[in-house]
């Protein structure tokens, strides 16, 4: 896996099973077009997002800036100088008691799935969130039709915390939400730092 602490080095190089080197780094303003394209494909053809209209670059940029302004990690995966995926963590809920819990989002370009990129990207995001003092990470994944994301999260230590059946309706079908959760650092075994 990649080095765990990206606070000291915001760029991490990971070796893929293919022998290629994957670069994971903080997202930048110039990555927004690639991020928008990856996300739009999933919005328009997939079930990983419950949005039905793909946001434009200005909206993607607004969301990115809101997370960065709140010191939330937002990462990109780069292979052959091309952004092939992105992941970020945001607040799980806005009420103050939830301040040590984050929700992750991860999206990969359709041509780069099942190549080990997601594991490196999500594990690096988890390490970053742990270093920032967060204690729990939650993933809300569209039900049985998103087996890749379910398997990825399980591989990285997430457990199924619950299912919300048929809470979304997209592409003429009802879609479940599977809620997965993973402890970060000491999790609930000690009080968090102030």
The pLDDT tens digits for 76-103 are: 999 999 999 999 999 999 999 999 999 9
Number of domains in the chain: 1
Q: What is the mean pLDDT of residues 8-14?
A: 73
DSSP 3-state assignment of 106? strand
Instruction: Look at residue 71 and tell me if it is in a domain.
Output: yes
pTM above 0.75, yes or no: yes
Cα dihedral 25→109→102→171 (10° resolution):
160
Helix crossing, 117-131 with 147-155: angle to 10°? 50
In-domain check, residue 158: no
Close Cβ partners of 184 (under 8 Å, ≥ 6 residues apart): 126, 129, 130, 134, 135, 136, 137
Enter the DSSP assignment of 97: G
pLDDT higher for 55 or 8? Answer: 55
Given a cut of 50, whether residue 126 has pLDDT beyond it is: yes
Q: What is the pLDDT of residue 127?
A: 96
DSSP H helices, the chain, are: 32-45, 57-69, 117-131, 147-155
User: Does some domain include residue 103?
Assistant: yes
- Per the listing, tokens 């809300």 go with 140
- Give mean pLDDT, residues 33-51: 96
| Residue 141 located in a structural domain | no
The predicted-structure confidence for 21-31, as pLDDT tens digits, reads as follows 999 999 999 99
Any domain includes 109: yes
- The first and second tokens of residue 162, run together, are 């619950």
CA 93 to chain centre: 16
- Asked if residue 154 lies in contact with residue 138, where contact means CB atoms within 8 angstroms, the answer is no
Given a cut of 50, whether residue 166 has pLDDT beyond it is: yes
Q: What is the CATH number of the domain that holds 36?
A: 3.40.630.30
> What pLDDT score does 146 carry?
84
Q: Is the alpha carbon torsion for 60, 63, 64, 65 positive or negative? A: positive
- Residues 6 or more apart whose CB falls under 8 angstroms from that of 189 comprise none
**Is 89 in contact with 134 (CB distance < 8 Å)?**
yes
For residue 76, the model assigns a pLDDT of: 98
Range of the domain at 15: 11-134
pLDDT of 6 strictly over 50: no
Reading the block at residue 74, the tokens are: 């937002």
Give domain status of residue 190, yes or no.
no
Domain assignment of residue 177, yes or no: no
pLDDT per residue over 136-146, tens digit each? Answer: 999 999 976 78
How many CB atoms sit inside 10 A of residue 72's CB?
18
For residues 60 and 66, give the distance between their C-alpha atoms in angstroms, rounded to a whole number: 10
CA distances from residue 6 to 45, 61, 121, 128, 174 in whole angstroms, order as listed = 33, 23, 12, 6, 39
Half-sphere exposure of residue 181: CA atoms within 13 angstroms, side-chain side = 12
Residue 61 confidence (pLDDT) above 50: yes
């Amino acid at each position: 896996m990649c080095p765990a602490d990206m606070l000291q080095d915001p760029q991490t190089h990971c070796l893929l099973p293919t022998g290629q080197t994957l670069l994971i780094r903080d997202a930048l303003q110039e990555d927004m077009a690639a991020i928008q394209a990856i996300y739009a494909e999933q919005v328009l053809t997939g079930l990983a997002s419950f949005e039905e209209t793909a946001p434009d670059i200005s909206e993607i940029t607004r969301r990115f800036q809101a997370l960065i302004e709140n010191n939330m990690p937002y990462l990109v995966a780069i292979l052959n100088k091309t952004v092939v995926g992105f992941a970020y963590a945001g607040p799980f809920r806005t009420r103050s008691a939830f301040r040590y819990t984050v929700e992750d989002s991860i999206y990969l370009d359709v041509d780069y799935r099942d190549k080990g990129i997601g594991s490196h990207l999500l594990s690096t995001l988890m390490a970053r969130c742990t270093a920032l003092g967060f204690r729990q990470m939650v993933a809300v994944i569209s039900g049985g039709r998103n087996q890749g994301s379910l398997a990825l999260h399980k591989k990285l230590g997430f457990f199924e915390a619950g299912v919300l059946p048929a809470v979304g309706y997209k592409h003429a079908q009802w879609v479940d939400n599977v809620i997965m959760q993973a402890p970060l650092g000491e999790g609930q075994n000690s009080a968090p730092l102030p």
